[in-house]
Chains A and B, each alone.
Chain A
Amino acid sequence: MEKVMEESKVGLYDIYHTEDGTRLIVLQGLNAEDTIALPFLQQQIHQQYDLISSLYWILFSVSLMYMLGIHIIIPLLKKLRLY
């Protein structure tokens, strides 16, 4: 990993170029050695992210409807003798 002095800005960030050509921006106070590597499980989830997030949105909607349904709609219908 090589620090590129002319692209770095003192007090703001340093620029490094890694062997694979990645341009690292290391903000002042952070460490250039702390590169990010995704754990295995995270990589698997990342590949299915769209599916999983869609399922979560469905579950979120169900949860909201359940909470409002069981606490407002059904008791209200019972009160009005419609349920």
Chain B
Amino acid sequence: MFSIEFAQSKVLQWSLGALVFVYFIVFYSWNTDATVSARMLESMRYVCPPYFQSCELFYFLDTLPDGYSQTILYMAFFGLLAWCAYFISEKAWRFAQLTLIPPFMWHAANVLLFTDNRSGNYEYYLISFGLILLFFPHKEFFLKFTIVFFYILSTAAKIHPSWIEGTYFTTLRTGLPLFPNWSIPLVTNVVILAEMIGSWFLLSQNKKFQRTAFIFFVLFHLYSGILVGYRYPATVLTFVLILFGPWYRYTPVPLDKKAFVGWVFILLIVCFQLSPKLIYGDEKLTMEGNKYGLYMFDANHQCFSEAKIHSYDGSIRVRSNRSIIARDRCQPYEYWFPLKKMCEQDESIKQIEWQFTHSINGGPFYKIVDIQNACNLIYAPMRHNEWIKTEKDAEIMGYPVKNIYY
């Protein structure tokens, strides 16, 4: 666990405190959230990750008003976090790390295995910070390097009309905060360039460059919080302030054998980030592989799903859903998954006719799914699913109006 590194670095000590702070914020919102609870399983409103479609065994906790088990668990985590804060104050670094392992495991399992609905970008940051602070050697270097690398990798999701043309924001009723509509493409391209190139200077030995980059990214996170709320800046800005703020010092590149695990991790996140590009079609429209890397502000989504459930007795039920706001990720998979589970569990269902129509960034509404029986479909997580049409072969159904964001 390389606890000795904490004793030698004020930056790492504060980073461990920041990790406690961020877990507190996450669990504060998960404490009463029913996303991974027995109730969701019973009402078939859960969605497993596409690469682990049988996650049901983890839906055993009862959330209020059904029972106390979930809140008991989260209060146990509260106790561990408080205990960790005590160990930090006592400079008992190994014990502080040990108390954080259960929150780390629970958080990472929720994000990566238990559900498809908790895979926010800031959760990926938190998993990375947790991995490095709890398990990796050369913690200070890899924390700094990972943040800068995430800035660069996040631009892979931004090389898209959403950002290059700024259509994500120009097709919002409220536009971009504080900037007029005509300037939106300028602002979005400045952000792409700053993340792609400007973030290098966060690691610079040149004080002027380093400070300029630091101030830019602090302002960027404060500004982006107007749109995304507290969670993202609370997770990332906290670490940016600690690692690149007044305490910044150049950290030599580790090249010993111990550093191997850190470099493998860096290469892995590159592979995950680029994996959606290997899947045929625009991943912002088909949403295939979209969440395997950072996808923040992928596209301004509008969609609706129409399913006709045919029973053996001849009756037909209609089940319709639609997106409500721009950041409702319109994954066909997410709409198909409950239909598939219905087919498996309800023997009276003969077939489910299903259509799914999706528009991104104010572009046409494409009918990307139009099939006779959703029960017969299989979703492959790592390649293009033929039953999901792309922008090249889907029928255009109409055009959207400006979307809303909140």
What residues make up the interface of A, taking CB atoms closer than 8 Å to B?
A: 9, 11-13, 15, 22-36, 38-42, 45-46, 49, 52-53, 56-57, 59-60, 63-64, 66-68, 71-72, 75-76, 79
- With A12-B304, A79-B255 as given contacts, are A49 and B397 in contact (CB-CB < 8 Å)? no
Q: How far is the CA of A41 from the CA of B107 in the complex (A)?
A: 43
Interface contact B159-A31, CB-CB below 8 Å: no
- Enumerate chain B residues within 8 angstroms of A31, measured Cβ to Cβ: 173, 401-402
Nearest residue in B to A53 (C-beta to C-beta)? B159
- Enumerate chain B residues within 8 angstroms of A41, measured Cβ to Cβ: 182-183, 185-186
In the assembled complex, B210 has its CB within 8 A of some CB on chain A: no
Q: How far is the CA of A27 from the CA of B173 in the complex (A)?
A: 14
Interface contact B322-A13, CB-CB below 8 Å: yes
Interface contact A25-B365, CB-CB below 8 Å: yes
Interface contact B149-A67, CB-CB below 8 Å: yes
SS class, residues of chain B in contact with chain A = mixed
Q: How far is the CA of A25 from the CA of B358 in the complex (A)?
A: 11
- With A38-B170, A60-B155 as given contacts, are A25 and B400 in contact (CB-CB < 8 Å)? yes
Interface contact B185-A13, CB-CB below 8 Å: no
Interface contact A23-B398, CB-CB below 8 Å: yes
In the assembled complex, B213 has its CB within 8 A of some CB on chain A: no
Interface-side segment among B119-127, B192-200, B222-230: B192-200
In the assembled complex, B171 has its CB within 8 A of some CB on chain A: yes
Nearest residue in B to A31 (C-beta to C-beta)? B401
Interface residues of B in 105-150 (CB under 8 A from A): 145, 148-149
- Enumerate chain A residues within 8 angstroms of B401, measured Cβ to Cβ: 24, 26, 30-36
Interface contact A27-B304, CB-CB below 8 Å: yes
- With A60-B155, A60-B156 as given contacts, are A67 and B164 in contact (CB-CB < 8 Å)? no
Q: Pick the contact of A36 from B171, B183, B186, B320 — CB < 8 Å?
A: B171
B128 to chain A, nearest CB (A): 16
- With A42-B170, A49-B161 as given contacts, are A72 and B362 in contact (CB-CB < 8 Å)? no
- Enumerate chain B residues within 8 angstroms of A33, measured Cβ to Cβ: 401
Q: Pick the contact of A13 from B173, B186, B304, B403 — CB < 8 Å?
A: B304
In the assembled complex, B370 has its CB within 8 A of some CB on chain A: no
Interface contact A12-B320, CB-CB below 8 Å: yes
In the assembled complex, B37 has its CB within 8 A of some CB on chain A: no
- Enumerate chain B residues within 8 angstroms of A40, measured Cβ to Cβ: 182
In the assembled complex, B324 has its CB within 8 A of some CB on chain A: yes
- With A53-B159, A53-B164, A57-B159 as given contacts, are A36 and B362 in contact (CB-CB < 8 Å)? yes
Interface contact B200-A60, CB-CB below 8 Å: no
Interface residues of B in 314-340 (CB under 8 A from A): 320, 322-324
Q: How far is the CA of A67 from the CA of B152 in the complex (A)?
A: 9
- With A9-B320, A27-B302, A63-B152 as given contacts, are A75 and B253 in contact (CB-CB < 8 Å)? yes
Nearest residue in B to A78 (C-beta to C-beta)? B255
- Enumerate chain A residues within 8 angstroms of B253, measured Cβ to Cβ: 71-72, 75
In the assembled complex, B395 has its CB within 8 A of some CB on chain A: no
In the assembled complex, B35 has its CB within 8 A of some CB on chain A: no
Most buried by B among A22, A45, A68: A45
- Enumerate chain A residues within 8 angstroms of B173, measured Cβ to Cβ: 31, 34
Interface contact A60-B402, CB-CB below 8 Å: no
B10 to chain A, nearest CB (A): 23
Nearest residue in B to A57 (C-beta to C-beta)? B159
- Enumerate chain B residues within 8 angstroms of A45, measured Cβ to Cβ: 164-165, 185
Q: Pick the contact of B184 from A26, A34, A42, A52 — CB < 8 Å?
A: A42
